[in-house]
A and B are shown apart, each in its own frame.
Chain A
């Protein structure tokens, strides 16, 4: 049995990591969950692409996580105080997004005929990532949200396109977004504006 045949596991991995990203207020957990999410993304794409090409997603994703981690100020682990009900609200919103994914998936499967777990993984990342973008204003969380949405899109797009150049450019965009995130955090302390 190959990795590609066990597609329920990466779907679960992607779901759990995305939920952690959505409710966590500690950037270390968020970046760790993002790294786990990229394992799931790699696993799902491996069901469509050869291992050598799919691993590009994993390497680029982990590099993005490393860049984001390195840019964080060590003292500021907990990002912001939120009300105790906030995680519950976010979980509820994620449940609604999941319901949307389940309802939309058959019509997407009709157009892109690949394993339904792969499609669900992609759609889940897009919807929860989009939800995340709608409820945050902090640069690191916006970048993580964008990376999540793009990961979901990359899974769907891998089902219709296998171009090496596209894979390379998408990896460059992933790394570029992480660098922009790191820059937005570090820029205020870099130098004076002339």
Chain B
């Protein structure tokens, strides 16, 4: 048995089965959640490429699957990645019903996860561009489910930008092979750098290609867009780190880290400033997504062990923060409210838990002290300030822009009055929202207990500092 069969082909086959079973959303949600938890647990317990003896039985999972002359390679060092991907999927699938997601969210979501895992596993690395493109195409029914009235500009831009990334990454693969063969060819190095930069800029929605993010977040279901952006950006970021890990000339180029630092800072600053003027929670969510990617780029740009550790430690608060935000705003949407601030006036009276969840997620993403994002952001800003103090001040300014918008949202949803009314949320929704909000507080209070768990992701990247 090979690892690719278990963690790529099994979820994809299950996705096809769940698609046929999608008229029964409750069962398919449970099945998908259980399958993802099973796959995450399997990755946690069973080593890859080593013989495991269970009494008289022996079990060995082979790391490599050959497919048309190419390899799907999932080694023992990739296990943290597998645990991470399938735990995220289980986490989002578990809340899908309470968030009122479309019945196709589960099958398409599972298929997307399997293609993204394939993108991480495929060798040569450039084939991941095609895998991600297929995942992007599969995501369209998730963002624009049957019955929606019209296609918005955000979805079309998302499709255009993500599709345009593929040719650049493939061409970068060709140029990188040329550089490996002839490391002194500076023109080819410049060409490879250009193709890689453009490919990743499209993939990660790096400035100036991020306009689709707030547009898409404002026009589609927050739960679907949160799930998709989280997975796509995580995969692209990890692939970026894998490229840096794989190519020595790239790893040792100081210009790369300068470029990443400036791009990350510009993303945080511009998105922070724009978010201060938003009147739509969906678009605000989009800007939060951009700010998070910006902070990840800043962490990689540090070019140190601490930098890559911060990069991985950003994942846990991000997953919980996005999940809580998406669930809270989905519950408010289900209640017949739109995402416009005008429509959210005093919603805390009727939906206190969803409003609290939304505000706590916002405050955490804004980096407020005692919440989950704060400890990592603090260390990151300290490190950035050591290399470039002025840039750190600007980044802090961008963050304050987002914080101002959060305070405005707080004023809107509370309206300064809480009446003695029954909450509008269902008990399970209250439980999920409370768990999410408490998690952000507990992680913020005890960061050393939770955040270092994610540094295991670095085991796949052996050549990083």
Bound-state CA distance A194–B97 (Å) is 11
A137 in contact with B171 (CB, 8 Å): no
With contact pairs A133-B160, A193-B102 given, residues A180 and B148 touching in the complex (Cβ less than 8 Å) = no
Chain B neighbourhood of A137, CB < 8 A? 153, 156
CB-based closest 7 A-B pairs? A190-B146, A193-B147, A153-B167, A176-B137, A169-B130, A165-B68, A192-B147
**Interface band, chain B:** 35 or more
B159 in contact with A191 (CB, 8 Å): no
B151 in contact with A139 (CB, 8 Å): yes
B residues contacting A by CB (< 8 A) are 25, 67-70, 102-103, 127, 130, 133-134, 137, 140-141, 144-151, 153, 155-156, 159-160, 163-164, 166-167, 170-171, 174, 187-188, 191
Question: In this assembly, does A69 line the interface, its C-beta being within 8 Å of a C-beta of chain B?
Answer: no
Q: Contact partner of A194 among B102, B150, B170, CB < 8 A?
A: B102
Question: In this assembly, does A71 line the interface, its C-beta being within 8 Å of a C-beta of chain B?
Answer: no
Q: Contact partner of A149 among B102, B149, B164, CB < 8 A?
A: B164
6 residue pairs A–B, Cβ–Cβ below 8 Å: A153-B171, A161-B170, A166-B130, A172-B134, A187-B148, A188-B148
Chain B neighbourhood of A139, CB < 8 A? 151, 156
Q: CB within 8 Å of B: which of A119-158?
A: 133, 137, 139, 142, 145-146, 149-150, 153, 156-157
> Nearest chain A CB to B294's CB is how many angstroms away?
26
Question: In this assembly, does A95 line the interface, its C-beta being within 8 Å of a C-beta of chain B?
Answer: no
Bound-state CA distance A177–B148 (Å) is 19
A180 in contact with B159 (CB, 8 Å): yes
Q: Contact partner of A188 among B68, B149, B153, CB < 8 A?
A: B149
Encode contact with B along A34-77: 1 for CB under 8 Å, 0 otherwise: 00000000000000000000000000000000000000000000
Question: In this assembly, does A164 line the interface, its C-beta being within 8 Å of a C-beta of chain B?
Answer: yes
> Nearest chain B CB to A128's CB is how many angstroms away?
15
Bound-state CA distance A112–B133 (Å) is 25
Q: Contact partner of A193 among B69, B133, B146, CB < 8 A?
A: B146
Q: Contact partner of A157 among B133, B137, B170, CB < 8 A?
A: B170
> Nearest chain A CB to B191's CB is how many angstroms away?
7
A residues contacting B by CB (< 8 A) are 111, 133, 137, 139, 142, 145-146, 149-150, 153, 156-157, 160-161, 163-166, 168-170, 172-173, 176-177, 179-180, 183-184, 187-188, 190-194
With contact pairs A133-B160, A137-B156 given, residues A173 and B137 touching in the complex (Cβ less than 8 Å) = yes
A173 in contact with B133 (CB, 8 Å): yes
Bound-state CA distance A150–B144 (Å) is 23
With contact pairs A139-B156, A180-B137, A183-B140 given, residues A164 and B68 touching in the complex (Cβ less than 8 Å) = yes
Nearest neighbor of A143 in chain B, beta-carbon distance: B159
Bound-state CA distance A166–B126 (Å) is 10
Bound-state CA distance A137–B171 (Å) is 28
Bound-state CA distance A145–B161 (Å) is 12
Q: Contacts A111-B187, A142-B159, A188-B150 known; list 7 others, CB within 8 Å.
A: A111-B191, A156-B171, A163-B69, A164-B69, A165-B69, A177-B163, A179-B137
> Nearest chain B CB to A159's CB is how many angstroms away?
10
Nearest neighbor of B167 in chain A, beta-carbon distance: A153
A184 in contact with B147 (CB, 8 Å): no
With contact pairs A137-B153, A146-B160, A161-B174 given, residues A191 and B134 touching in the complex (Cβ less than 8 Å) = no
Chain B neighbourhood of A146, CB < 8 A? 159-160, 163
Bound-state CA distance A150–B68 (Å) is 23
Chain A neighbourhood of B160, CB < 8 A? 133, 142, 145-146
